[in-house]
Chains A and B, each alone.
Chain A
Amino acid sequence: MRITLLPLVIIVAPVITGLLTLLVPWSEERKARFSLFVHAFLLAALLALFPAVHAGRSLAYKLAPLFPPYGLSLRVDALSFLVTLVVAFIWFLSSLYALEYMRHEHHIARYWAFSNFTLSGCLGVAFAGDLFSFFVFFEFMSLISYMLVIHTETPAAFRAGVKYLYLGIIGGLFLLYAVIATYDLAGTLAFDALRSFTFPDYGLYSFSIFLSYVVGFGIKAGMVPLHFWLPDAHPVAPSPASALLSGVLLKMGAYGMARVFLDVFGLSYLATSGWAEIVAVLAGISIIFGSLVAIVQDDLKRRLAYSSISQMGYILLGLSLLTPAALYGAVLHILNHALMKSGLFLAAGAVMYRTGRHKVSELDNIGRTMPRTMLAFTITALAMVGIPPLGGFISKWYLGLGAVVGGRPVFLFFLLLSSFLNALYYLPIVTRAFFNRAACPFAAFQVLPPEEAGPTSLGTELPPLPPRPLAPELPPAMLFPIVSLAAGTLFSGLYPMSPPFSLAADVVKAYFGG
């Protein structure tokens, strides 16, 4: 088999698996195992592509008979490979987790089928070689993932699902306009051709194209004025699906934005026209707004969803700063945020699975019952805050450097402020989980009258610890993804130049040279 055929196989395999899952009368357990096996296979197949991509070869494949006269074209370069790697890796871990988690849910076969279809859509978006195929896969992904959002079939899920669906459609319409108009101007839709094509300046017309792209991808990426579907849709899905929605599907919006910025418009055009400023300012607002609102959320998954809004702001900011360091930081943050946020969602789901608690205020001493899970949660949360040896810090470092080198230190201030705010909403969870033996009603900076402030440091009057609960830790199939994601953030922080992360440097090299 030629290696250029591999992307097609990678896209089609999940579709076939999904169809089999729907149609073949296997037991649900067997369907789940089969899907998991296919996801592992996809990860392996992707890794087989790695040497070719790292060597700088651009793998292209054209499937002419589909959608005449344009045809469906696939192409793999460093950026798309990096994104597919994220997709496949997170998907595999989430599926491994779901194998155990979904065992107690209803409609298991439906979950696996639509998980597979969504996976195919995500991979197709990343592998698309022209805007038309991109659009087709993007729409497929947005619409089919609706089934993951409403999987629990609660009224809240349906309410969130309606928003998700309609905003997906509206975003798709904006994208459709932009794609058609791009074809009108450039006469081609292939990314390679568009990259060498200098975008003509037709004033308002060109600007409307840019704006449509920004709206279309901004809805998907949860950029602030278009974010309002996100904090409803992500928490209502089952936890492995939330991890996918927040860790992977949001990245597709960012990936589309990156493709449009880098290939369609080109960096020099955006720099001269100054349109990227709009996205930069909106991203800055997202960063602060998401963090501020997350502080007062009591529902753990909702807090994580708002944190996603803030973190997607980092990625969009890095794209729109148009400096090599910022682009590097943004691409790294796509990777790091996927690792961190899916890890956090999986850990939150594990707590729900084991104890049924989903509010932050109910998490007293949870670290004593589930030490490994909460330790992984703590590490990932610290990575989110941007504490040095962890992954989040590295991408923030390059984003900040990009802001300083680009001559806009205001955004540096945004980044640092957001780090502080992240600490304000992640670390209280850690305190609650591990350091709350007294389990007193505890509010930050609450003032006691002087008579009640007890003796210091010899706290012998504390109640004894609750007995260790009998419930054991998570089953290994659930613990492994959480722990390995935490380990992944640690690894990406310590060795950001090693193979999977070095692709980010390849991306920067491809667009800035040198």
Chain B
Amino acid sequence: MQRSLAYELPLLGEGLSFQADALGLFFALLTLWVWFWATLFSFSYLAHAHDKPRFYTFWFLTLAGCLGAFLAADLFTLYFFFELMSLSSWALVIHEEDFTALSAGNAYLYLSLAGGLAILAAAFLLQGTIGTTSWQASPPAPPPPAGTLAIVAALLFAGFGLKAGLFPLHFWLPQTHPVAPAPASAVLSGILLKVGAYGLLRTVSLLASWHFFLLPAAGALLAALATFTMLLGAQAALRQQNAKRLLAYSSVSQLGYVALGVAIAALLGRSFPLVWVGTLYHTMNHALAKSALFLSAGALGRISGSLELNAATALGLKYRGLGAAVVLGAAAMAGLPGLSGYISKTLLHHAVVAAPKLAGPSWRLLEPFFVLAGAGTAAYYLVLIIPWFTKSKLHVSPDLHRASPLLWLPPLVLTLSTVAAGFLPGFFLSHLVIPSALALLGEEAHHLKLELEHFHPWSAADLKGAFFTLALGLLIYTAWIRGLLPRRRAARLRRSRLAFAVFFRKFAPGVRRAFSLLGHYGRNALASLLLPLATGIRKRSPDLFAVILRAAVSSGKWLRSVEKLADFFRPRPACRPVQAAPFSSADYFLSLTWRSFLAVCEALNMIDVLINQAGVALARRTLAFFHFTARIDEALENFSTSSARTLHSFLSMLGHLEAPPRPAGKAGSRSAGWERLLRLDLLNLDVAVLLLALLLIFTLLCFLLQI
């Protein structure tokens, strides 16, 4: 049994409980190490920044959130610190307060909150069914009913997967990480993503301890998503020209590796403990190297004033420390033997190879994708580091002044720690990674140490695999970047094509504009022509209207295709345009979702206004009804008066009655009527007589007709 420190803070009703076992301490240590160097870096990076007190407040609040999340003993406490981390890191993301930062920050904030709410929902369900949300209760809590557990598992995977940037929920990541100030990007990518990874690991461990029957299926699904995330991140990173965006996509890809490790852990359970070790090692590697690379990118921005990779031309030669940091960090991420990435990827590769043996032959599909993603990693890191060491005549570097040591020392130290982790795997494994893996595996993992005796990182087969992957990466780089893509220099013009070229260069924009204007006005004119026509026609024959409407729609399509044609003739730049907005389709989707959501809200608002107006109308109708009844009352009274008078005159004509006194004019019109009714004066006796007569006639009729 491992030793662990536990502490309970009697706050928030339920109490916040902390537990420092090996796993939590491992992550906390990583966090503090990265945070320390990032803070040092931030002193020089933010030397002339605005709102520094605000930045540092949220900087340390985020640190508290991360540490609390890692050291929490139950899901309730974890949720608390998770929210703290999300909100305060949001303030870091939008620190620059420009448009891109604010819109990326919005996506980040609301998605983080949604992820947090998923975790909260899981905490609710656990607390409600088994009475505790603890990770490791002793004695272990009984599992909740299977249906609830399935929902809890889905919620936890969604919540932590969102934080870790797993495939369908990854799109916020490449927007968010580049817009933050560099130290913040470093910890966002290096540490905050690890909270998601940590949560996924804990979740799988918890579900495995309950022998959750759907866990292998969840593992298979997660593996598919993780593989897709790896490849997607890699191919998107290959196309980036902005250093930070490239690194952000690289984070997507690398967290895919971590998620793949978690998936295989879920699939194989405790029968193959090596995969837990590999996942943790890769987490450590990514935290150290990626934060170092983000800090270097920040230094690039500070020195050259731009984050485009073109701006880094020859900077690595001028600033040796920075260049070394970039190269070592990239090599560690790509898995060059001798650095920590090699160890972690080798461990994960072992797991990938072991999966078909233990879980069925269909898992053999995994290995090619794994190797391909590794090669992609090597390729896009070549994209990142090559400009730092190429001299260019075109790009005249500005007057370079001495960089403050705080700009290059922190990334260098972080990358040197990856070197240490690569050269001393035995030390790091036995002192850091294996104890934390044991914390996840619980009591049953005695044989883990034995198994690791057999693991030798420098075996010939593994080295061969690593070099094969790197070579494939080089191939991809040369093919993709240098070969297949159009060259940056424009192709020499042949005389035969000159006329066309001149024509297109000169007239194509005008033609295009004319076409688009034409289309615009055409559509408008068509609409203005059709609309009155349509309203006229609709009255006569609805079918004809539909036909015309369809015709209008198809003409719109035709106009659209003309516009597309015009667009096709637009002169294109010879080199590939820099892709400025990442995942514009996702953006578009988000904006569409947001708009439609707002439209729904507006509709509800309209409904509310309608309810309101209906209430007012109802009140008016009620008033009108009152007036109406009053009028009926008046009419009845008039009728009764006149008929009574008739009856009375009839009776007096017969000589049965004295002449009645005349009613007192119109003086008290309505209230006098009511008074008369109350006093039962002679006139109303007449009414009574009339009513009785009517009743009598009615009865007689009934009697006669034998109803």
Which chain A residues have a beta carbon within 8 Å of chain B's beta carbons?
163, 166, 225, 228, 231-232, 289, 292-293, 295-297, 382, 385, 387-389, 393-394, 397-398, 400-401, 403-405, 409, 412-413, 416, 419-420, 423-424, 427, 431, 435-438, 440, 442, 444-448, 450-451, 453-459, 462, 465, 493-497
Q: Chain A interface: which of B91-99, B281-289, B412-420, B458-466?
A: B91-99
Closest residue of B by beta carbon distance from A228: B612
Which residues in B have their C-beta under 8 angstroms from that of A448? 99-100, 581
- Indicate which residue in B102, B103, B109, B128 contacts A404 across the interface (CB closer than 8 Å): B128
Closest residue of B by beta carbon distance from A497: B13
Q: Chain A interface: which of B300-308, B484-492, B517-525?
A: B300-308
Which residues in B have their C-beta under 8 angstroms from that of A401? 124, 127-128
Pairwise interchain contact A409-B619, C-beta atoms closer than 8 A: no
User: How far in angstroms is the closest Cβ of chain A from B693?
Assistant: 40
Judge whether B192 is part of the interface by a CB distance below 8 angstroms.
Answer: no
Q: Chain A interface: which of B176-184, B430-438, B444-452, B643-651?
A: B176-184
Pairwise interchain contact A435-B97, C-beta atoms closer than 8 A: yes
Judge whether B271 is part of the interface by a CB distance below 8 angstroms.
Answer: no
Closest residue of B by beta carbon distance from A296: B601
- Indicate which residue in B94, B117, B128, B602 contacts A405 across the interface (CB closer than 8 Å): B128
Q: Chain A interface: which of B22-30, B79-87, B345-353?
A: B79-87
Pairwise interchain contact A456-B80, C-beta atoms closer than 8 A: no
Which residues in B have their C-beta under 8 angstroms from that of A382? 87
User: How far in angstroms is the closest Cβ of chain B from A484?
Assistant: 20
User: How far in angstroms is the closest Cβ of chain B from A300?
Assistant: 16
User: How far in angstroms is the closest Cβ of chain B from A421?
Assistant: 9
Pairwise interchain contact B98-A454, C-beta atoms closer than 8 A: yes
Which residues in B have their C-beta under 8 angstroms from that of A457? 96, 101, 178-182, 185, 244, 301, 307
> How far is it, in angstroms, between the C-alpha of A214 and the C-alpha of B591 when the chains are bound?
41
> How far is it, in angstroms, between the C-alpha of A427 and the C-alpha of B107 when the chains are bound?
12
Which residues in A have their C-beta under 8 angstroms from that of B97? 435-438, 459, 462
User: How far in angstroms is the closest Cβ of chain B from A449?
Assistant: 8
Q: Chain A interface: which of B496-504, B567-575, B582-590?
A: B582-590
Pairwise interchain contact A446-B601, C-beta atoms closer than 8 A: no
B180, B306, B588, B608: which has the most chain A beta carbons within 10 Å? B608
Which residues in A have their C-beta under 8 angstroms from that of B707? none
Which residues in A have their C-beta under 8 angstroms from that of B581? 447-448, 450, 453
Closest residue of A by beta carbon distance from B598: A296
11 inter-chain pairs at a CB distance below 8 angstroms, sorted by A residue, are: A388-B79, A389-B11, A397-B124, A398-B13, A403-B128, A405-B128, A438-B102, A445-B587, A447-B588, A457-B96, A458-B306
Beyond the given A424-B110, A457-B185, A459-B98, please list 16 additional residue pairs across the A-B interface where CB-CB is below 8 A.
A232-B612, A296-B602, A297-B605, A388-B79, A393-B12, A394-B12, A404-B129, A409-B125, A423-B110, A431-B102, A435-B91, A435-B97, A447-B591, A450-B581, A453-B580, A456-B179
Judge whether B543 is part of the interface by a CB distance below 8 angstroms.
Answer: no
User: How far in angstroms is the closest Cβ of chain B from A447?
Assistant: 5
User: How far in angstroms is the closest Cβ of chain B from A276?
Assistant: 19
- Indicate which residue in B96, B105, B113, B301 contacts A423 across the interface (CB closer than 8 Å): B113
Which residues in A have their C-beta under 8 angstroms from that of B113? 385, 419-420, 423
Which DSSP category, helix, strand, loop or mixed, fits chain B's interface? helix
Judge whether B409 is part of the interface by a CB distance below 8 angstroms.
Answer: no
Pairwise interchain contact B109-A438, C-beta atoms closer than 8 A: no
Pairwise interchain contact B605-A435, C-beta atoms closer than 8 A: no
- Indicate which residue in A293, A420, A436, A446 contacts B114 across the interface (CB closer than 8 Å): A420
Pairwise interchain contact B305-A293, C-beta atoms closer than 8 A: no
Closest residue of B by beta carbon distance from A163: B615
Pairwise interchain contact A436-B102, C-beta atoms closer than 8 A: yes
Pairwise interchain contact B601-A389, C-beta atoms closer than 8 A: no
Closest residue of B by beta carbon distance from A424: B110
5 tightest CB-CB pairs across the interface, nearest first?
A404-B128, A388-B80, A437-B97, A459-B98, A459-B96
> How far is it, in angstroms, between the C-alpha of A232 and the C-alpha of B307 when the chains are bound?
52
Judge whether B121 is part of the interface by a CB distance below 8 angstroms.
Answer: yes
> How far is it, in angstroms, between the C-alpha of A455 and the C-alpha of B182 when the chains are bound?
14
Which residues in B have their C-beta under 8 angstroms from that of A409? 124-125, 128
**Given A292-B601, A456-B307: A442 touches B99 (CB 8 Å cut-off):** yes
> How far is it, in angstroms, between the C-alpha of A448 and the C-alpha of B101 when the chains are bound?
13
Judge whether B617 is part of the interface by a CB distance below 8 angstroms.
Answer: no
Closest residue of A by beta carbon distance from B54: A434
Judge whether B512 is part of the interface by a CB distance below 8 angstroms.
Answer: no
**Given A427-B109, A453-B580, A496-B12: A440 touches B127 (CB 8 Å cut-off):** no
Which residues in B have their C-beta under 8 angstroms from that of A447? 581, 584, 587-588, 591
Pairwise interchain contact A465-B50, C-beta atoms closer than 8 A: yes
Which residues in B have their C-beta under 8 angstroms from that of A232? 612
Judge whether B245 is part of the interface by a CB distance below 8 angstroms.
Answer: yes
Pairwise interchain contact A455-B84, C-beta atoms closer than 8 A: no
> How far is it, in angstroms, between the C-alpha of A295 and the C-alpha of B14 when the chains are bound?
32
> How far is it, in angstroms, between the C-alpha of A462 and the C-alpha of B604 when the chains are bound?
38
Question: Between A and B, how many residue pairs show CB distances below 8 Å?
Answer: 174
> How far is it, in angstroms, between the C-alpha of A250 and the C-alpha of B94 when the chains are bound?
37
Pairwise interchain contact B11-A454, C-beta atoms closer than 8 A: no
> How far is it, in angstroms, between the C-alpha of A271 and the C-alpha of B13 when the chains are bound?
28
Pairwise interchain contact A293-B601, C-beta atoms closer than 8 A: yes
**Given A420-B117, A442-B99, A456-B178: A228 touches B611 (CB 8 Å cut-off):** yes
> How far is it, in angstroms, between the C-alpha of A337 and the C-alpha of B13 when the chains are bound?
17
Which residues in A have their C-beta under 8 angstroms from that of B305? 458
Closest residue of B by beta carbon distance from A494: B11
Pairwise interchain contact A442-B102, C-beta atoms closer than 8 A: yes
Judge whether B507 is part of the interface by a CB distance below 8 angstroms.
Answer: no
Which residues in B have their C-beta under 8 angstroms from that of A398? 13
**Given A424-B110, A450-B584: A416 touches B120 (CB 8 Å cut-off):** yes
- Indicate which residue in A437, A446, A495 contacts B591 across the interface (CB closer than 8 Å): A446
Instruction: Flag B356-389 by CB within 8 Å of A: 1 or 0 each.
Output: 0000000000000000000000000000000000
Pairwise interchain contact A445-B185, C-beta atoms closer than 8 A: no
Instruction: Flag B595-629 by CB within 8 Å of A: 1 or 0 each.
Output: 00010111011001001100100010000000000
User: How far in angstroms is the closest Cβ of chain A from B682?
Assistant: 39
Judge whether B242 is part of the interface by a CB distance below 8 angstroms.
Answer: yes
Which residues in A have their C-beta under 8 angstroms from that of B107? 445
User: How far in angstroms is the closest Cβ of chain A from B14?
Assistant: 7
Judge whether B455 is part of the interface by a CB distance below 8 angstroms.
Answer: no
Pairwise interchain contact B598-A295, C-beta atoms closer than 8 A: yes
Closest residue of B by beta carbon distance from A493: B12
Pairwise interchain contact A455-B307, C-beta atoms closer than 8 A: yes
> How far is it, in angstroms, between the C-alpha of A450 and the C-alpha of B588 when the chains are bound?
12
Pairwise interchain contact B94-A445, C-beta atoms closer than 8 A: no
Judge whether B579 is part of the interface by a CB distance below 8 angstroms.
Answer: yes
Which residues in B have their C-beta under 8 angstroms from that of A295? 598, 601
Pairwise interchain contact B125-A454, C-beta atoms closer than 8 A: no
**Given A420-B114, A458-B301: A435 touches B102 (CB 8 Å cut-off):** yes
Pairwise interchain contact A438-B98, C-beta atoms closer than 8 A: yes
Instruction: Flag B545-577 by CB within 8 Å of A: 1 or 0 each.
Output: 000000000000000000000000000000000
B12, B79, B84, B121: which has the most chain A beta carbons within 10 Å? B12
Closest residue of B by beta carbon distance from A407: B128
User: How far in angstroms is the closest Cβ of chain B from A41?
Assistant: 33
Judge whether B684 is part of the interface by a CB distance below 8 angstroms.
Answer: no
> How far is it, in angstroms, between the C-alpha of A232 and the C-alpha of B609 when the chains are bound?
11
Pairwise interchain contact A166-B619, C-beta atoms closer than 8 A: yes
User: How far in angstroms is the closest Cβ of chain B from A100?
Assistant: 29
Closest residue of A by beta carbon distance from B151: A409
Closest residue of A by beta carbon distance from B175: A456
User: How far in angstroms is the closest Cβ of chain B from A166?
Assistant: 7
Which residues in B have their C-beta under 8 angstroms from that of A228? 608, 611-612, 615
Pairwise interchain contact A455-B306, C-beta atoms closer than 8 A: yes
Judge whether B594 is part of the interface by a CB distance below 8 angstroms.
Answer: yes
Pairwise interchain contact A462-B608, C-beta atoms closer than 8 A: no
Which residues in A have their C-beta under 8 angstroms from that of B611? 225, 228
> How far is it, in angstroms, between the C-alpha of A135 and the C-alpha of B110 when the chains are bound?
45
> How far is it, in angstroms, between the C-alpha of A388 and the C-alpha of B590 when the chains are bound?
28
B109, B242, B307: which has the most chain A beta carbons within 10 Å? B109
Which residues in A have their C-beta under 8 angstroms from that of B307? 455-458
